[in-house]
Structure 1
């Protein structure tokens, strides 16, 4: 838990710095008067920064501070859809058996993160069977009366996903450390973050993951996700907003960001995209500017976590004055701000730091279309 808090804080700070590195590098690469040798150097910087961004994303998953875009889905259908991807990634000497249960298992998960969990567990299992073997993925409905040891599971019904292999197995010493970040039994191969990331993703979904293993016999991971009961599903209808008549590629953006390097980079990007830009250093200043220039602003582009007034609170305050105001949130992570447990509400536009010029442009265009 302590490592998770540390990792989340570090990843958040790094994402702010990487936003500037990637943003300015991209804008330089987009200019025509750069010599080819310098263009190659910039491309190397861009590639290294993107790798660093991937690492911080894994740290955020472990720390359970990433934003989840949850959807209601049938776990069995999602698992079946992954067969083709698994078959392409795993060597043919490993047989893949999928055994979904008959009952539909309706859960609320982030589809991308669920895919990541399955891929991490399946590829780890395949690596434990270099000479071939059997990988079995099973689902079933499991009532939980008491929380497993070391878990905070509430009693109820859960979807159980089991990933089992016939590989080399693990010793008790290894079993006790497999969810630690940067722990690996394969030095020089990978970062040792795969299972730590999986652990964080499952816990953030209010689930539980456990493992059993026998040396020379194989390993089984059991993952629990809480079931959503059909009669308990809330309405997904959203209040209708008055449509804006403004064009989708022009207008004025209010940028609110407490990190100067990110704020300046966002201003440059928006100017490059053809928008007029007004900026503020924090939520309070953003609210003051928003009140003074309410009719001019087309979109609020705001950081989520800031000292004092949060981006979410700022948006709610401006929304009372301007019900048709669009918003795009920026964040290196969110922590109980947009919604409980860092879960992203459906339909909210969120830009993950670090972001590219194209990603910024797409999010703004989507927000203006709403």
Structure 2
């Protein structure tokens, strides 16, 4: 009986040892796969860092070329179209990679911050390309009040998507039409208004105000976009229209106001900004006007 018990114990030990060896083998295999995955991730992060530097250099050059030279003809539009095509799938790939970053563990935390930075830069490039492709070939008289209402409606929806109760109000007196590109006018108002909305907490307020300056020769329209938000630090205010300078916490952005200044310049106008921490921000734009004047006074 004792012999049988000993044999049984030996067999049990052997089976336990085989199970342990199998488990150890599985663990070693998993560790090997994890090490390979970490190596691939490290290589990907290295390549992303190199690509990010190249992307930033190309983006600076492209922003200047596409925004300043768009009026020269179809060649620039073709360039924008060609440049945009490979960016969209790359944006989608990086966006998906960002959503799966948690699966890469420590290396994902270490290198993953490069991914959203590249996503934002590519998003800016796509915006530039679409902006250029949408530009009309000539300037025609535009109703600034109508464009402001369209922008305000979009900004309100943007606030809703952000889960914020932000009031966007349009205040306009009778204005002459502005002879300018509708795209430039819309882009300028939209960029300033949505920037204001995104800087505000719930309960904030954005105003779009328009008035004529008839005493000026030639006549000008005055356009204001203001908010009661947190304001801008003085050290940032002087550089606000520089490319890649941003007033938000996301340092990877910062082309919007640069493009706004270029658009205002194309329309023959000027833009200035005033702000201080805790006092909100005010953008003032002066634009030359045409001869036509739609009789409209409104507050919305």
The TM-score range, normalised by the shorter chain, is 0.5 to 0.7
Indicate the residue corresponding to 1:58 in structure 2. Answer: 128
Match of 1:80 among 140, 145, 149: 149
Deviations 1:306-339 (A, max 9, x none): xxxxxxxxxxxxxxxxxxxxxxxxxxxxxxxxxx
Match of 1:128 among 189, 195, 199: 199
Question: 2 CA distance for matches of 1:22 and 1:185?
Answer: 27
SS in 1 for 2:257: helix
- Mapping 1:81-230, distance limit 5 Å: 81-91=150-160, 92-101=164-173, 103-143=174-214, 145=216, 155-188=217-250, 191-230=253-292
Indicate the residue corresponding to 2:25 in structure 1. Answer: none
Alignment CA distance shift 1:144-1:196 (3 Å): farther
Q: How far 1:81 sits from its partner (Å)?
A: 3.2
Scaled by the length of structure 1, the TM-score of the pair is 0.45
Deviations 1:224-259 (A, max 9, x none): 22110249xxxxxxxxxxxxxxxxxxxxxxxxxxxx
Alignment CA distance shift 1:118-1:192 (3 Å): same
Deviations 1:66-124 (A, max 9, x none): 765422122112212333222111244211111111x1321112222222111111111
Q: How far 1:46 sits from its partner (Å)?
A: 8.7
Unaligned runs of 5+ in 2: 1-58, 70-74, 94-120, 294-300
Instruction: Note the aligned Cα RMSD (angstroms).
Output: 4.0
Scaled by the length of structure 2, the TM-score of the pair is 0.54
Question: 1 CA distance for matches of 2:76 and 2:145?
Answer: 37
Aligned length: 199
Alignment CA distance shift 1:187-1:105 (3 Å): same
Deviations 1:51-74 (A, max 9, x none): 859617638979xxx765422122
- The structure whose Rg is larger is 2
> 2:89 matched to 1:44?
yes
Unaligned runs of 5+ in 1: 26-41, 146-154, 232-370
Task: Say if 2:152 and 2:193, in contact at 8 Å, map to a contact too.
Answer: no
Deviations 1:19-71 (A, max 9, x none): 55777x7xxxxxxxxxxxxxxxx9835968xx859617638979xxx765422
Indicate the residue corresponding to 1:8 in structure 2. Answer: 64
SS in 1 for 2:178: strand
Task: Say if 1:202 and 1:209, in contact at 8 Å, map to a contact too.
Answer: yes
Question: 2 CA distance for matches of 1:81 and 1:17?
Answer: 29
